[in-house]
Amino acid sequence: KYKKLFEPFKIKELEIKNRFFFPALGLSIVNNDGTFANDTMEYMVRRAEGGAGLLITGIHFVEMDIEKKSVWVAPCPRTKPHGYKMVAGEMIERVHAFGTKMFVQLGPGFGRAIYPKFLNGTCVAPSETTNRWDPSITCRELTTEEIETIVRNFAESAVISKECGFDGVEVHALHEGYLLDCFAMSFFNQRKDKYGGDLKGRLTFAIEILQAIKAACGEDFPVILRYSIKSYIKGLDQ
């Protein structure tokens, strides 16, 4: 009855052995240098041992300077690339031993959804607004130049990830009220530059990220995008 679930399929030239995906989870077990902790590695290897065709890591941030965080809540490939490659490479090799493929999930940051205890500086957003958890905290509007920097950081992070041996990239996009999600919503995006305006303008950030990764990693390198079909935000903090 469920034979199709066990059949292989392809994303570009990458063959995945079955239709079972293990989606990204917020496994906030990270070493102080931004690399995977051993517990995270072992957890993912066990998922491969269980037979999943594709694993996707929890979110990895592409930068730590524009949105400054007080603790390592997720890895960042660009912070210490050499150490990141060594640890990630070992994990990927062990996952591949079970015939399982692995994608890295990359994201631009929390935006207004950041927990205040994770914040080490000013909260950022598409336009000035308040923090999701503490309305007394004001989120400043990102500059056009900062957004363009984040786009370049996505491409750089994707290249590092490809060099590690990851089989593809998932972009954490229009999902869960994080930074890139807020860009898509007119409620939070009142910008007047190329990253605001109508829906096409509000999606420019996400589109430029995909284009930058493809340009840096090649057209055959798989890139998928995580998004929500419907947003259930009715109003500020509702």
Retrieve residue 206's tokens.
């996400």
Single out the catalytic residue among 2, 43, 84, 178.
178
DSSP, res 58: E
**Half-sphere CA count of 196, side-chain side, radius 13 A:** 15
Chain centroid to Cα 187, Å, comes to: 22
Which residues, in sequence order, are bridge partners of residue 223? 169
Active site residue 43: no
Handedness of CA 86, 90, 96, 101 (dihedral sign): negative
The dihedral region occupied by 208, where left means phi > 0, alpha psi between -120 and 50, and beta the remainder, is alpha
Report how far residue 200's alpha carbon sits from residue 177's, in angstroms, rounded to the nearest whole number: 19
Annotated active-site positions, please?
Answer: 178
